Each structure stands twice: as structure tokens, then as C-alpha cells.
Amino acid sequence: MWKPVHLFAFKKKFDFLRWRKPALILSTLINVVAILAVVFVGLNFGIDFKGGIALQVRAKQGAAAQLDALRATVGGLGVGEVSLQEFGEASTVLIRIQRQEGNAQCVAGAQRVMQKRSSAGWQVKPGAAGTGDVEFTAPQALDGAGWRDAVSRVGLTIVERQLPRGTTATAKVDMSPEQRAEWCQQVAIKAVEDAIGANYDIRGTESVGPKIGDELMMSGIWAVLATMAAIVVYVWFRYEWQFGVGALVAMLHDVITTLGVFVLLQLDFSLTALAAVLTIAGYSINDTVVIFDRVRENMRRYKKLGLIDLLNLSLNETLSRTLMTSGTVFVAVLALVVFGGPVLYSFSIGMLWGVIVGTYSSVWIACAALVYLNLRPDQLRPADEEAAKAKA
């Protein structure tokens, strides 16, 4: 049987806190850059937060996707901004379309969809300006059931009272501008299906209307703030206030730099990415707590040791477990990055960064903060120092 491998089998005496000033400067720089990047460049929000449409399509018979041709086709549909991205393999493309505004182009698109899916005689026109009304003209007169069936081809659900009585060839559907914008998401999906359906299979569709997008954005921000607050309150209850502040600063550091990484790599910031940020906030504390636990223990044991020495001692004692706990999570996340597939990619990259930076910040941010917050006087009286040395 083999023998266990000890990390740092030699007597560890790193003077971690000697590097606290350079680390502080470095971290401040990185954070300032990250904040500036988030403010001025902005996160690459996915449709979860921005609203919009994402279609995952694959070229039929496994052919390589023609990105340029696709871009030209979809871009010409009047659905607004379109972005394409190869997704996992050469035949698969993720088409992202901006959230729909419910404008005249959308109504024109609805007419094309009706003409293609029903018959060429259909006309669709916007109603009076300022409303979201839409007027449909059918090639022949239709009754209630006929109308309902016809307009469902463009993804419109209508109730009976919105229909004209009896059998008619025109129908005006009353909508508010907001309702029309939501409906236009459906129109855009169908327009794309019609335009590229001959050469591509649609593997998955996601559509987030403007209203939900705004709501998710707000609740996402609240979720991040509430999580951080709850964790800090917990640490504050369990430890002295300086530890709470140290943990908070380290956590902010981790969350902000993670956001910076999302901007830098222009990773899709979706709900899963938000999940990564929240998990990092929770996990950032893990290493910190392990170190703080030891610092507190040593504070009781070495009553007269100076703060810097005390912290260095605690850091050295906990070093191998800090590296081991981060290491196990790191290899697990690495497996996600490599094998987890394109859907989880931004989540995995975010987590990978979070694990690394969380370890760094536990040492140089959280512990250094204790120094600046005067957890205990740094320079003790000479007599104490002698005693401390003798004891150590």
C-alpha cells in the first residue's frame, strides 16, 4: 500500500502578511478594473435578463453550419440585432435575437408568416398608432373557430370576445403595445423557423419576453445582495465584528472580480452564471472561515503574540487544508469545464475563477483586513514579545 503524500511536509514558515501591501495594491487595481469594465463595457447579459430569443440550430445531415449565410438570412428578417455563435460543434449554432419591440417590422413579419403557413392572401397590418392593435385580413371569410385557428399560426392566443361576431374576412385584435411586444417574440421565432427550416433543424428554443427579463434582472440583483448580507450576518454572529468585515471585503472582492472575468471573456451572463456568482459568494467564505477559526483558537492560546505573527502562524497551520479543500473543488469544477458542455460553460469558468480567487482572498484580503482593522495591537510591549518568543 502507498503512503499518503503530505503537502508541505517541511516546517512551514511563510511570512504571508509581508506581502499584504503588494497584494492590497494588486487587488485594488484588479477590482477597479473589474468595476470599470462592468460599468463601461458591461456584462454580456443573456436573454434571461435582457429578454430576447435564443435558438439552437443544427445543420441537417451534420453539415458544417454556414455562419455568414445564416447571419444574412436571419438578419434580413427585420427582427433587430442578431448574433451567432458556434455552439459546441461545427454543425451547431446558437442564434441570439434581441428582445422584440413590437414595431411595424414585426407586424410585417407576422404577415409573411401567415402567408407562408396559411395562404398567400393574408394581410396583417398594425392598428391605430399608440395602441398595439393588429388587423388581420383573411383571403376568405372565417368564423370564430376559423379565426382562432388561423391566428394561432402566428402564436397569438385570443379569447372569444376579441373576435368579430359571425363570419367575417377581417378582424382587429386589441392589444396594448406591451402585449404586442410579447407576441412579437412568437412572431420572430416563427419567422426564423420559416427562413432557415429547410437547411437546419431547430433543437431548442428559448424566448424571454421583455417583462420577465426586467423582473429577473431585478430579482437577480436582490438575490446577490440578500445572499451577501445573510452570509455576513452569519459570520458576524459567530465571530468578532472585525472577522465579519474581513469576510465581507473578501467576498466582495471575489464577486466583483468574477463579474470582471465575465466581462473580460465576454461570457454569456445567464441565470446559471448568476448561480455561479451566488455559489462563489457562499464558497468564498469557506476557506476564510477555516482560517478565522484557527485565528480565534490561537488568539486564546497565545494571548501575547503580536497580530502579524499570530496571523502568519494560523495561515501556516491551515495552509495545507486550505489548498486541499480548494484543490478538491477545483478538480471537480475542472471536470465541468472540460466535459460539462456548452450550456454549462460560462457557469463552469466562473466557478473555476471563483475557487482560485476565493483561496487567494482568504489569505491576503480577509486576513490582511484583520491587520488593518486592529483586531489586536500589532506591536506588543517588549516584555510581551520576549514571552511570546519564548512560548513560540
Please, which residue, 82 or 181, has the CB nearer to other proteins?
181
- CA angle (236 as vertex; 231, 241 as ends), nearest 5: 140
Which of 205, 160, 194, 187 is closest to 53 using CA atoms?
205
Closest contact distance (angstroms) between CB of 324 and other proteins is 5
Cβ count within 10 A of residue 286: 16
Asked if 345 and 274 count as a contact pair (C-beta separation under 8 A), the reply is no
Please, which residue, 137 or 320, has the CB nearer to other proteins?
320
Closest contact distance (angstroms) between CB of 112 and other proteins is 16
Please, which residue, 17 or 189, has the CB nearer to other proteins?
189
Which of 279, 212, 254 is closest to 46 using CA atoms?
212
Please, which residue, 283 or 364, has the CB nearer to other proteins?
283
CA of 274: how far to CAs of 172, 216, 319, 342, in Å?
Answer: 42, 11, 30, 16
Cβ count within 10 A of residue 215: 14
Closest contact distance (angstroms) between CB of 319 and other proteins is 10
Please, which residue, 139 or 146, has the CB nearer to other proteins?
146
Strands lying side by side in the sheet with 134-142: 123-126, 134-142, 168-173
Which of 318, 324, 326 is closest to 358 using CA atoms?
326
Please, which residue, 26 or 145, has the CB nearer to other proteins?
145
Closest contact distance (angstroms) between CB of 32 and other proteins is 26
Q: 269 has which bridge partners? A: 45
Closest contact distance (angstroms) between CB of 128 and other proteins is 17
Closest contact distance (angstroms) between CB of 295 and other proteins is 11
Strand-pair category, 200-208 with 134-142 = unpaired
Please, which residue, 20 or 246, has the CB nearer to other proteins?
246
Report the alpha-carbon distance of residue 129 to residue 364 in Å, rounded.
61
Please, which residue, 20 or 350, has the CB nearer to other proteins?
350
Closest contact distance (angstroms) between CB of 25 and other proteins is 28
Closest contact distance (angstroms) between CB of 21 and other proteins is 28
Please, which residue, 188 or 307, has the CB nearer to other proteins?
188
Question: For the chain, how many helices (H) and strands (E)?
Answer: 13, 9
Closest contact distance (angstroms) between CB of 386 and other proteins is 24
Residue that has been written with the C-alpha cell 495545507 in this structure: 320
Alpha helices in 118-154 (DSSP H): 144-152
66: which 3 cell numbers? Answer: 454556414
232: three-class secondary structure by DSSP: helix
136: three-class secondary structure by DSSP: strand
